[in-house]
Structure formats: structure tokens, C-alpha cells
Chain A
Amino acid sequence: MPQIFVYIAHRDGVVDDSAAELLAAAQKIDGSASPIALVAGSGAELDSVCNSLRSSCNEVWKIGHEALAYPNAELIRKALVKVLPPGSIVLLSHNHFGIDLAPGLSIKLNASFVSDIVEIEGVERSVLKVVRQEFGGQISAHVRCDISSGAVITLRPGAFKPRESASTNGSVIDKAADVGTLTAGRRYLETVVAEAGDVDITRHNVLVSIGRGIQEKDNVAIAEELAEAMGAAVSCSRPVVDAKWLEKSRQVGSSGKTVKPKVYLACGISGSFQHLAGIKGNPFIVAINKNPKAPIFQVADIGIVDDILEFLPELTSKVRELQGVAAK
């Protein structure tokens, strides 16, 4: 079995939550695996990250370089190519950093590449059996990946449950000498923080959230009327922002806001994992969608197969009617 490496992301000296998921996935590939943690960075933050991993990994490879103070995927790829032995299996999280780094890394390592996996079924004679999703989660696929010359694999965030692992007292191995000089054709300048919008959807208990099913900008008013009647705010999924029907600040998801409402009305939202990643705190989810195969029905508490353009106005009338009765 080839050596398994897990690439550990970190920020401000703290290990990213994905680390435990990567370690769990390594165990699924090989129950007896002793995965090696790869940590790139610089200075005291890098030391503190490496030290904190010693309790969960037998070996931590510290890849220190002043050019790695910011996680630039191109520089990190070049460093990893110098450090990693041929035939390695490298696990990363399928987030904005993994998407940036992993495909190119697989080419430079001459390793196989499979991305965004949601399950590992095992290894048979150098073939890794995994499950992926396609078509925005509408259907799953069994995928076979030849790992005989190594593999770079990215994992769907949240798909692998961290496991209780015996505490160990691993060692940190300094790989800085292998890295040498690093230069990149892409240079980090700054991070632009998201603009605050007119409504802070993270502070609302009830969200009327709309997706592609709203169909056109003029229909957004249907959701706004319902939200007003319910005392809720309108949020949305990515396609609504892409189409410029609502501001980016209304977007729920991994590239938008993380919300923790009590009730989440998903209206015409298919339910991609990037969208679901922005819904926390286990709210009561109601899905209304005319496509009965929409993945949102897998995670919702209550589902209604209907056309939101007809359903929502009737729902609004009913809410108003009830409130009229209550007011009397």
C-alpha cells in the first residue's frame, strides 16, 4: 500500500476543521494506514500547527519557507512536488484551495486524480473504489481510480465523519531543505472582504430562500411578500446572485454566508452541497420544488413537490389570513 499523505490547511496558527475528515478518509483507504501530515507555511504559526498535529499523526512534515506565509497554491504545489516520494496518495479537501492546487499537483506528480469524493469503498489490487456525485447531486456514480502510480484525491467537505483516534506522540520532520527556491507566476496581493448588504441574513430566525426556480427577477417579489408576511428575510442560492437578481450578501453557501435560522424555506433550490454547506444549526428545512428528484429533498424535513411561482403566493395569502384572524 502506498504512503498516504494528508494536506493540512491552517489559518492564524490553527488547524482547519477538514484535517480530521482527511485522517478519517485515510483510514477508510487503509485501516492500518499511518498517514503523514503535510503542513506548509512559515514562522511561528507553522510551528504551532505542526505541534498541534503531533497528537493525531505519527509523522508531521513541516514545509517551511518564507514564500509560503500565504497559501499560494502554485508555490505549495512546487514545494510538494520536491518533497513527496513517487507513488504517494495525497488527500486534500475539495474547497477553494483544494480546487486550486490538486489538479495541477496530480499532473506534476504523474498521479491519478479524482475529486470531490463522498465515499470510499476500498482498494482492490491498486484500484481505489470511490463514490462521487454528478449533476449537482442529482445522481451518484461509482468511480474506479488506478492508484498504482499514486493519486491525488479531494474530499467533499463534511462527507467523512471524523473518528475517535488514539492519541499519539508524533514527530515533526523538517523538510525545508528539500524545498529550495520558490517562485510563482501568480502572486497574492490582498483579500477583499465581502460587502455587507442591506439585510443581514445571518441574523434572521426564518429565511425564505430562493433558487433558480424563481425563474426571473420580477418573481423575486413573490418571495419578498412571503418573507414580509412571515417576518422573515429573503436569502438565495448561487444562480440567483449569478443572474444579478439579488445581492451577493443574500447568498447562502460555501462562497456566500453561513446562516443558522430556526426555519429555512428552500424555494426552487436544488440543494447543491455548496449551498447546503452554508446552512448550520440544524434548522427545520422545508423544500418546495417542482423537481421531485432535487437533492434538497434528501436533507429537508418537509418536502412539497409544487411550482413555487404558484405555491408561494397562495402561502402568503394564507399567512396573511391567519394573521388577520389572530389580530382580531
Chain B
Amino acid sequence: MEILVCARRVPDTSENEIQLNSAGNDIERDELVYSINEADNYAVEEALQIAARVGGNVTVVTVGGEDDEEILRRQMAMGANHGVLLTDDAFSGSDGRGLASILKSFAQKGNYDLILTGVQAEDGAAQVGGMLAAMLDYPFASLVSSLGVVDSKKLKVGREIEGGNREISEIDLPCVLSIQTGINEPRYVGMRGIRAVASLPVPTYGVAELGIDPNAVGESGARVRRVDYFVPELGNGAEILEGSREENIDKLLELVAAKGGLK
């Protein structure tokens, strides 16, 4: 099975406090630690496991700049056969539709049976997979938390719905799935693994190679734009206990006891 995984490099929210920059128009990016988007990492692992079971190749693709090559190499170290960087000045400022149309152009150059994305990235939009599927006229399932290969024509997928329940469906190939975190246990990649793939080529594609109208993507093609970031005024935020740890523990227990929280 030929599998394409769309991944993105994002600021790692478990490693960073996200703060407004001094100009107030963006987040402070100077000392951010970046990594592959968490859900995308699960998507790559799922692709590798499918390829190991039924055979095939895994290609990981991202839209971005030269800094983003780092995550492609990391996924190649995990076992992906190919990493591809879609990069062009014209891509900058793309909205979700723009990203999906760039990915569509790349997907159409190959012959992929299955295309995976993570459920969502740092912007929480959860949009690119569903858009890409509609552009390709492929069936789509979001929030996929279990996946089995039925035969060369279809998969059985479980979607995470409310209350921990799962909705099981059969889906025809080729299709697009957005993969939920927790579906598998992504393998660990060490420095040695990354060094081993350091010299492998990572091809790049721009508007010319992809046959994209530069005005349809990037800032000029975007119908949705983020104007700025801001920190909302807190309504009733928490009362922050500012004492020593010991004082905070005493105060906390006093309040919790008053609420009936101690046996």
C-alpha cells in the first residue's frame, strides 16, 4: 500500500509557554522549541505499522521552509521511505484551503492508496484532511482511533465520538483519514537514527513543479486570515496562592475541607 502522511512542524506546547511578542502581533518565537505536531507523529507511526503488515511505502510530506526539513528527517529515521518538502515563497500565509490545495497537487503526482493527517495542529482548526479529501473526491474519516486493513480495497476504521465510544465504519480506498493521538505508541527516534538518514535526499517542490497558480495559494489566495494574537481579559480567573509551598498546602487543604473534599 502506498501511504502519504501530511505532517507539520509546530511549536511544542509541552515544552513552551506560548506568549505574546512585544509588538503584540504574533507569539514570541525566539526561543521556541519546535517538534513534529503530536497527532502527525501518530499518523506516521500508523502508516509505518500498516506498511509493515501489508507491504508498501510511506512518504511524509510537509508544506513549509527549510527549517521544516528537520521533521521530515526525523520521520525518515522512524522508518518513512521518503520525505518531501513543498516549499515556495508563494505558499507563505496560506489558509487551510491553501494548504490543502498544495497537498492535493502533490498527492496527485503520486499514486497513493491512503493519505493520513493528524487530527489537528497547533491552531486547532482540524481542517486540512477533510478539505484534501473533498478536493480529491476521496472518502474521509476524522478522529480515527483504530484502523484495520480489510483487503486491498477497503479499511475498517474507528472514530472517536462522545463519551469514549467508537463509531466503526468501512471505508473505500483510496481515502483520507485524520488520525487521533493515542491510536498507537509512536516509536522512539534517537540521535543515531537521525544521523543515519542525514545524507538521504529530501526533494523539494514549488509552484512550478506542482503546477499551482501562485495566486490561488499563500496570502493572496487566503480567504481566512489571522490578524493578530492576543491574551483575553480574564473574567474570573483563579485566585493564585502566592505563599510558600507549605503555606499553599495549608490554605489548599483548608479550602478543600470546607468544600467537603477530605474524608
Contacts and interface: CB of A to CB of B under 8 A. Distances in A.
B205 interface: no
Nearest to A128: B224
A173 B248 CA distance: 61
Interface in B165-218: 165-172, 175, 181-182, 185
A58 interface: no
A239 B39 CA distance: 11
A106 B260 contact: no
B256 A104 contact: no
A191 B140 contact: no
Interface in B213-263: 223-232, 234-235, 237-241, 245-246, 248-253, 255-256, 259-263
A302 B236 CA distance: 11
A86 B260 CA distance: 57
Interface in B46-72: none
Q: Which residue among A139, A262, A318 has the maximum number of chain B CB atoms within 10 Å of its CB?
A: A139
Interface stretch (A26-34, A48-56, A161-169, A292-300): A292-300
B163 A257 contact: yes
A116 interface: yes
Contacts of B29: none
A145 B252 contact: no
B1 to A, nearest CB: 17
A116 B126 contact: yes
B143 A107 contact: no
Interface string A88-103: 0000001110011111
B240 A251 contact: no
B168 A139 contact: no
B171 A194 contact: no
B127 interface: yes
A203 interface: no
Contacts of B237: 297-298, 300, 303
Contacts of A115: 124-127
A171 interface: no
Chain B interface residue bracket vs A: 35 or more
Given A141-B230, A186-B141, A104 B126 contact: no
B94 to A, nearest CB: 13
B224 A254 contact: no
Nearest to A112: B223
Contacts of A112: 97, 223-224
Given A96-B143, A107-B131, A255-B160, A140 B170 contact: no
A287 interface: yes
A242 B182 contact: yes
B252 A304 contact: yes
A284 B254 CA distance: 13
A186 B167 CA distance: 12
A198 to B, nearest CB: 15
A302 B241 contact: yes
Given A100-B143, A231-B263, A314-B245, A191 B168 contact: yes
B170 A238 contact: no
Interface string A38-76: 000000000000000000000000000000000011100
Contacts of B83: none
A186 B238 contact: no
A28 B251 CA distance: 43
A300 to B, nearest CB: 4
Interface of A: 72-74, 77, 94-96, 99-108, 112-116, 131-136, 138-146, 149, 184-194, 205-206, 212, 230-232, 238-239, 241-242, 244, 248-249, 251, 254-258, 262-263, 265, 270, 284-287, 291-293, 297-306, 310-311, 314-315, 318-319, 322-323
18 contacts: A100-B159, A103-B130, A112-B97, A116-B125, A136-B13, A141-B227, A145-B224, A146-B223, A149-B223, A185-B171, A192-B158, A192-B165, A192-B167, A231-B262, A285-B238, A293-B18, A297-B240, A314-B249
